[in-house]
Structure 1
């Protein structure tokens, strides 16, 4: 009987000891207030970079090479990374490349559409994957695009037309448009004719040739201008080209007829070749769009959206489906009188390159 009592007491003591030990362990493991509010994250989650996908139409023009390089610099300066793919004018390839970027798990997709209509499918696929899309410089039509960042392209056209009507208030005009698939080409043309139409109705200006340029290619602009000259017996007084690359094709056709420098030509983009032609007198003006300002703004907005942040005030542009939140920067008209104070002063091109100086 005594042995049974002793065993019972020992068992009771063991149970008490186990209870005390368990309580102490729980107190030690109990999280602090700070730990409950801000649980520690893994190193991977705290250090993971935002990844931006950049789907570009082409890299076959000087302008787009600048956009690519400056955008990459801007994104990386914000601590994010960018994956860049260019389709060189191939709609199917651009869609395929965008699908690749989406499958790689980019946090946001920036799109420079070759075809304003067909790239709507890219926006849809990105949204299905929970990825927001920014249209860069060119608007995507009929899609629920999240943001549009560009210059005021209608204003670009107005600047071109105002410069040309100041030089040639009356006469036969040729309009060499951009690619019909690019919404910017339509906005540009709208701006041009905002200025020209009253003069057309007045009878001061006659549009003797008006044609789109397939894929913005200078060779196609050259062929268009050759046709315009032939159809009008070289009786052309002014030409408005949709960009500097197409202006180059126009001026080549004028050279063939001994008319370069005699017929005023407008372009836009402030490409180096165009700046050189302005100095030489074969191109009358261009429209400078400070690309560094565009890439910096696009990068800022892309990283902010990817983080789920708000991006501030914006304008609205209708794309045929919705009023797209838009950030539109202001362009600058450039001719011989202000070329030094604009594109050269900004470092967009060096004075040595523009004036073809061997040394200073």
Structure 2
């Protein structure tokens, strides 16, 4: 299906069809079960194990170590009992990530799952992997070079959901409102897509008083820039803040609180970090975007095992994407979900991402009762 499905540009992702996502989850749920056939991609095929490299870029964004890594490693073990995993995290440094990729190739990994910090700067590492016959699965964001597969969410859709939520939060007064945009880095297709999606909703609807692109998703930089925006625009002239993810939202909110702004204007986010969910409960952050981690991690693991065994991805990838260097990359694109205080129970709690006890610690007991999370 990867060759026959719809093509998606790296700079203009099409919305993933919900049925495709459901189909993916169903197919993944069947993987690794006892009695599966030799062609199902599971360890029942009897094929020997090999080493899979997993290279992430961020430590300050909580999701990577808390969810993505353990979920990928668990699924890899289910699909290939004899496979081993070599893990590395670059901690936000591109040069370190380049070195980590090169080191894993030298150590003999058979396939790589890579979440690239910079989609251009990692191109040489991807080319090195290709020359060594090591397929690369681009995880959560694209990267230039001859990658073999991609799994992520519809990232323009993420930006649109954030922009729509911000307009809703400002209500009838949205027309003529002034906002600040705290975008992610524009050196990655994900950051570019988030911003593009948000602007498609916000432009013409509100005045964008200040806009910033934050390298490395650094909350400290977001805080500093928000302090500057408050000084330039005035504390009473900021009606909302588009923050591309929860880390940036934390920096924005700390600056707003330090300036004594009350009530806080609505602030968006993304990733549904636990601290962000707690800020949503207290009303400090208006919303986040929940990207179900398990389907993404499962798809990446399934792709990696299939590629490591020399198998095609036709039964896994529902579509294809293009980058400036590579066309028709087999891809899985999943649907993001907006999260506000009204649907926390039906999203992150229902899916088991967090328990009520994890969210509603004594510090948040009163806010949780008011939000209807506890009695």
Give, in whole Å, the separation in 2 of the partners of 1:261 and 1:343: 26
- Do the aligned residues in 2 keep the contact of 1:117 with 1:181 (CA within 8 Å)? yes
1:91-131 deviations in Å (ceiling 9; x for gaps)? 12111111111111111011111111010111100111111
Residues 128-277 of structure 1 mapped to structure 2, 5 A cutoff: 128-141=131-144, 143-168=145-170, 169-170=174-175, 171-199=177-205, 205-234=206-235, 235-259=237-261, 261-277=263-279
Give how far 1:216 is off: 0.6
Give, in whole Å, the separation in 1 of the partners of 2:203 and 2:162: 14
Give, in whole Å, the separation in 2 of the partners of 1:173 and 1:82: 44
Correspondence for 1:12: none
1:102 aligns with 2:78: no
Q: 3-state DSSP class of the match of 1:311?
A: coil
Correspondence for 1:338: 343
Correspondence for 2:331: 326
Give how far 1:151 is off: 0.9
Q: 3-state DSSP class of the match of 1:265?
A: coil
Give how far 1:357 is off: 4.4
Closer, same or farther: CA 47–166 of 1 in aligned 2, 3 Å: closer
Give how far 1:356 is off: 2.1
- Do the aligned residues in 2 keep the contact of 1:260 with 1:282 (CA within 8 Å)? no
Higher RCO (C-alpha 8 Å, min separation 6): 2
Give how far 1:197 is off: 2.1
1:93 aligns with 2:96: yes
Correspondence for 1:63: 63
Runs of 4+ with deviation above 3 angstroms: 357-360
Give, in whole Å, the separation in 2 of the partners of 1:229 and 1:216: 20
Give how far 1:355 is off: 2.3
Q: How many residues are aligned here?
A: 309
Give, in whole Å, the separation in 1 of the partners of 2:225 and 2:48: 51
RMSD, matched Cα: 1.6
Q: 3-state DSSP class of the match of 2:203?
A: helix
- Do the aligned residues in 2 keep the contact of 1:286 with 1:335 (CA within 8 Å)? yes
TM-score normalized with structure 2 length = 0.79
Structure 1 or 2: more helix by fraction: 1
TM-score normalized with structure 1 length = 0.82
